[in-house]
Amino acid sequence: MKKVRTRFAPSPTGFMHIGNLRSALFEYLVAKGQGGDFILRIEDTDQTRYVEGAVQFIYDTLKVCNMHIDEGPLEGGNFGPYTQSERVDLYKKYAEELVEKGHAYYCFCSEERLEKLREEADIRKVAFMYDGHCQKLSKEEVEAKIKAGEPYVIRQKMPKEGTTSYEDIVYGRISVDNNLLEDQILLKSDGYPTYNFANVIDDHLMEITHVVRGNEYLSSTPKYLLLYEAFGWESPEYIHLPHIVKEGGKKISKRDGDSTFMDLYNMGYLPEAIINYLALLGWSPEDNQEIYTMEELIEKFNVKRINNSPAVYDIKKLNWVNAHYIKALSMEDFKKLVIPFLEQEYDLSSKSDEFLDELLGIYQNHISHGKEIVEEVRLFFNDEITLNDEAKEFMTTEGADKTVAEFRNQIENITEWTVENISAAIQNTKEVTGNKGKLLFMPIRIATTGQMHGPELPNTIHLLGKETVLNRLK
């Protein structure tokens, strides 16, 4: 059997959105699950969209996500170069070969002519399709035009009859009537290939066995298959992935303010958690396991369980997964995660190491991402606490003031400031006032912390210190 080879083929346009990273992950899992190779190919033929530093960014992302690249621009390999702009001569050679074989042709149509065709199509309310005008040119005419320096593109000659079909591993059988396929451009007038051409040439030459990518390419894949056929090449397997959408069905996009991988990373989401979560966007295991290491994903991932309905990006679920990973960190790693966020906001030099250890010990089980700690612990750094409307409203509940007054009483009587004694003070407050449940805990929590939710109350109160607590209870 052929060695499995997959490729991640990003365009270096600046950032890596969640969908890109999920494609990379699924490519990686398909390859590694079968002992194959994972290749990085940089698709930079659209020079207008090129962003400086983007390739480095892609490398950094794959590295922190623990995806090892077997072949790529920096790694090298037997199928290089792995950057498309360095392969331009190659595409030209293959495009000319297709012309020779009668499956492509030179086209000299001016932008004005094409614009006119587009307008006509608009008026007739039909989709624009190039009309094949230049197919009629004789070999001599073509040669003369090229010699005269006329700009040209090379177009694929589509069959006018029949259908082209393939079996997508996720979407099943996909068929397109050939007469609906446009004679698409393979080589642009600047000599660069289009994506539509380059992806075929490269996937073939790089011996890619499985193409994993977003489903926006699902319906153009028949055009690529006609290219494979024209060259007499065997085509790879196709695994098109469902879109990632938000609740309500809208596609996630950076422009709408949806987070990219780096946004999440910079907010203190752990790469392992993001990867774990992304694996579940479109794929589901046979059992109900939700937490996976990369090794477990490699072992359990199965393309047959990729679902073809849109995958819903759910930040609450991501938070849940991330919280799970945060809880599992060693104290040392947890500190590495949160101290930089805290230092940005607070002066930590005034706090003792014991205080910080106790604080972080309490909050490690309580936050869903690193940056969240900043607001959560504000009550320990600011003397003043401010209540939101909901908290203020709660404090007007009948009996709330009684809880607070008695609790203050109890606190005043504590001689040894320990978590146990604070728990006992809460218990005594319950007995004296007869208030229990929400009416017991909430007024105490709000009055001491200003918040309506938080970690274990006795621990929080202990950490605040008796003086602060008494001041606030006033």
Active-site positions?
254
* Residue type, position 109, single letter: C
To ligand GLU, the closest distance from the beta carbon of 292 in angstroms equals 24
Which member of 4, 5, 6, 10 binds ligand GLU (CB under 6 A)? Answer: 10
Report CA-CA distances (Å) from 395 to 242, 298, 387, 390, 404.
48, 52, 10, 9, 10
Q: Does 43 bind ligand GLU (CB under 6 A)?
A: yes
Q: Does 19 bind ligand GLU (CB under 6 A)?
A: no
Task: Give φ, ψ of 127 to 5 degrees.
Answer: -70, 140
Chain residue at closest Cβ approach to ligand GLU = 213
Which parts of 71-130 interact with ligand GLU (CB under 6 A)?
none
Question: 3-class secondary structure for 181-192?
Answer: CCCCEEECCCCC
Q: Compare residues 220 and 302 and give the one whose CB is closer to ligand GLU.
A: 220
Q: Are strands 104-107 and 153-156 parallel, antiparallel or unpaired?
A: antiparallel
Q: Compare residues 213 and 371 and give the one whose CB is closer to ligand GLU.
A: 213
DSSP structure class, residue 233 = P
Q: Does 198 bind ligand GLU (CB under 6 A)?
A: no
Q: How many binding residues for ligand GLU (CB under 6 A)?
A: 6
DSSP structure class, residue 71 = B
Applying CB under 6 A, which part among 7-15, 148-156, 184-192, 226-234 lies near ligand GLU?
7-15
- How many angstroms separate the CA atoms of 313 and 244, rounded? 6
Cα torsion for 42, 43, 46, 50, to the nearest 10°? -30
Site string for ligand GLU, 155-194 (x = CB under 6 A): ----------------------------------------
Applying CB under 6 A, which part among 4-12, 336-344, 354-362, 429-437 lies near ligand GLU?
4-12
Applying CB under 6 A, which part among 3-11, 236-244, 260-268, 338-346 lies near ligand GLU?
3-11
Q: Does 9 bind ligand GLU (CB under 6 A)?
A: yes
Q: Does 44 bind ligand GLU (CB under 6 A)?
A: no
To ligand GLU, the closest distance from the beta carbon of 7 in angstroms equals 7
Q: Compare residues 12 and 454 and give the one whose CB is closer to ligand GLU.
A: 12
Rounded to a whole number, what is the distance in angstroms from the first to the last CA of the chain? 77
Q: Does 11 bind ligand GLU (CB under 6 A)?
A: yes
Q: Are strands 311-312 and 153-156 parallel, antiparallel or unpaired?
A: unpaired
Site string for ligand GLU, 213-252 (x = CB under 6 A): x---------------------------------------
Can you name the residues that pair with 176 across neighbouring β-strands? 164
For residue 104, the surrounding DSSP H or E stretch is strand 104-107
- How many angstroms separate the CA atoms of 376 and 380, rounded? 9
- How many angstroms separate the CA atoms of 349 and 443, rounded? 32
Residue 246: alpha-carbon gap to chain centroid: 13
Which member of 6, 194, 199, 276 binds ligand GLU (CB under 6 A)? Answer: 199
To ligand GLU, the closest distance from the beta carbon of 199 in angstroms equals 5
To ligand GLU, the closest distance from the beta carbon of 221 in angstroms equals 10
Longest dimension (CA), the chain: 105
Residue 290: alpha-carbon gap to chain centroid: 18
Q: Does 464 bind ligand GLU (CB under 6 A)?
A: no
DSSP structure class, residue 3 = P
Q: Applying CB under 6 A, which residues contact ligand GLU?
A: 9-11, 43, 199, 213
